Amino acid sequence: MPKLLVIGSMNIDEIVITSNIPNPGQTVFGKEYKKVSGGKGANQAIAAARLGGEVDFIGCVGDDSDGDFLLENFGRNNVNHKMVLKKENVLTGKAYITVCNGENQIIVISGANEHVTKEIIDIEAILNSDMVLVQLEVPLKTIEYVVDLCYENKIPIILNPAPATKLSEDLIRKVTYLTPNESEAELIFGTDDYESLVSKYPKQLIITLGSKGSIFKDENAIHKIDTIPVKVVDTTGAGDTFNGALAVSLLNNETLLDAVKFATLAATIKTTKLGAQEGMPTMEGVKNYIWKD
């Protein structure tokens, strides 16, 4: 089975649901509290594994109970975490999320994710992988190092540039697939003319458009992939589902067009369920949805 290597972040998401956002100096009561696994890297690894991918992961957690919590969750979801390092005297990454009437306020503490440096990257793991998937919640220098390794060794790599930052043209040209959402594409390229952007980077740039689907260009034409009508419950993790699904589909030798269609569908199905990782579909779930639709 083709092997996917994901390199990225692992977080504990501490979520408080409330009817009122407190003003400075004010105390309010919350409705509900949840502690769940998160981090864009971990989310994308689990999305791929749930869709049948063979997934290895490189990252860092703290030597604490939160780190154990995240590793146990990887085990339950069939993600190989033997290359995840536990860093002493370092906290596991955390995101503190306040949810009020569908809107989020988030404070992220990178913690152990800052220790995902090039020194911990297992070069053999990259060379033995059929595809690599990375994001930007770990140091950019590490991502640049991984991209260079993949480029030099002709290993396909997907870069999901989130959270968005300015990227060099050299880095962009070296990645096999770049998958920003609308706001990330605008920040990186300075324009919201998506058709012009995908025409400049054919078969490479894939822009996700939320409820409007996705857009990319292959050797034949610009393709706009629509979503299907669903009752949206929670969009958290939809972009991560897209990236994990895209990787799995490409590793299954699907065309880029079919892979983007599959990823768009999987991301749409994710929005029908609550929770980032908890709501991610299995391959059977996607097939059942297609059949029912």
pLDDT in tens, 197-252: 999 999 999 999 998 999 999 998 999 998 888 888 778 889 999 999 999 999 99
Question: What is the Cα–Cα distance from 47 to 66, expressed in whole angstroms?
Answer: 21
Number of structural domains (the chain) is 1
Average pLDDT along the chain: 93
Length of the chain: 293
Q: Is 240 one of the catalytic residues?
A: yes
Residues 6+ apart with CB under 8 A from 234: 271, 273, 274, 275, 276, 279
Assess whether pLDDT exceeds 60 at residue 291. no
Active-site residue, selected from the candidate residues 56, 64, 66, 240: 240
pLDDT in tens, 5-36: 999 999 998 888 888 888 899 999 999 898 98
Assess whether pLDDT exceeds 60 at residue 76. yes
Strands 30-38 and 11-18, bridge-based pairing: antiparallel
What is the model's pLDDT at position 229? 81
Six-digit token string for 195: 């058709």
Mean predicted confidence (pLDDT) in 118-132:
97
Give the distance from CA 17 to its chain's centroid. 23
The partner residues of 132 in beta bridges, in order of sequence, read: 5, 157
Assess whether pLDDT exceeds 90 at residue 103. no
How would you label 235-249 residue by residue, b for 16+ Cβ within 10 Å and e otherwise? bbbbbbbbbbbbbbb
Q: Is 255 helix (H, G, I), strand (E, B) or coil?
A: coil
> What is the span of the domain harbouring residue 182?
3-292
DSSP E strands in the chain: the ranges are: 3-7, 11-18, 30-38, 54-62, 79-87, 93-100, 103-109, 131-134, 157-159, 177-178, 207-208, 214-217, 222-225
273 confidence band (pLDDT: 50, 70, 90): confident
Assess whether pLDDT exceeds 70 at residue 187. yes
Mean predicted confidence (pLDDT) in 167-175:
97
- Domain harbouring 222, CATH code: 3.40.1190.20
Residue 17: other Cβ atoms inside 10 A: 14
Assess whether pLDDT exceeds 70 at residue 102. no
What is the model's pLDDT at position 217? 97
